[in-house]
Amino acid sequence: MDISKLNARAASDRGSDMHLRDPFGKPGRGDTHKTGGALLYRDKDKPVLFHVLGNEASAVQAERRAMEEEQSNGARIPAKEAVFRVARVALTGWQNLMDGGAEYPFNDANRDSVLRNSDNIQIQIIDHMGDVGNVRPGDGTD
């Protein structure tokens, strides 16, 4: 599937909701509680905005610990790769992301393809302190 052929106009008209892991891991709600977040496809000069809230989710913490371990062993992880890795464990689904007239299915391969698309996606990480980091994957910045 060529991600560039996703229907930008239809998605921007009604929005594309994303399902994110519960950033606070509250008892009884499980790891896949639907939280706020939106993925909006727009014109090429307006990036998709992808929100990942919090860094408390167990899956997100585990991924961050894994990256810290890799770095302590001498690995260099560029910022865009670190953000991609955190975002991919936080994202558990989407709605209204269209491919022509049909819903673009959520699965691991499609998730990774959408997150890696540097032409029309920007990932914004908001941590528990309210600090914001922005990365556009593939833009050449670390």
pLDDT of residue 42: 41
CB 5 within 8 A of CB 11: no
- Which residue numbers in the chain have pLDDT < 50? 1, 3, 8-9, 11-12, 21-56, 118-119, 125-142
Does residue 44 sit within a domain? no
Range of the domain at 26: 3-38+58-135
Give dist(CA 2, CA 99) in Å, integer: 10
Strand ordering across the sheet containing 48-53:
91-95, 16-20, 38-39, 48-53, 121-126, 132-135
Tokens of 101: 């007239």
Does residue 19 sit within a domain? yes
Residue of 82, 88, 90 lying closest to 64 (CA atoms): 82
Structural domain count of the chain = 1
CB 87 within 8 A of CB 113: no
pLDDT of residue 45: 40
Does residue 91 sit within a domain? yes
pLDDT of residue 118: 47
pLDDT of residue 69: 92
pLDDT of residue 26: 46
Going 110 to 115 to 117 to 119, the CA torsion angle's sign is: positive
Whole-prediction pTM value?
0.54
pLDDT of residue 133: 46
Tokens of 110: 């499609």
pLDDT of residue 24: 42
57-71: per-residue pLDDT in tens?
Answer: 577 778 888 988 999
pLDDT of residue 74: 94
> What percent of the residues of the chain are helix, what percent strand, and what percent coil, each to the nearest 5?
30, 25, 45
Does residue 52 sit within a domain? no
Does residue 130 sit within a domain? yes
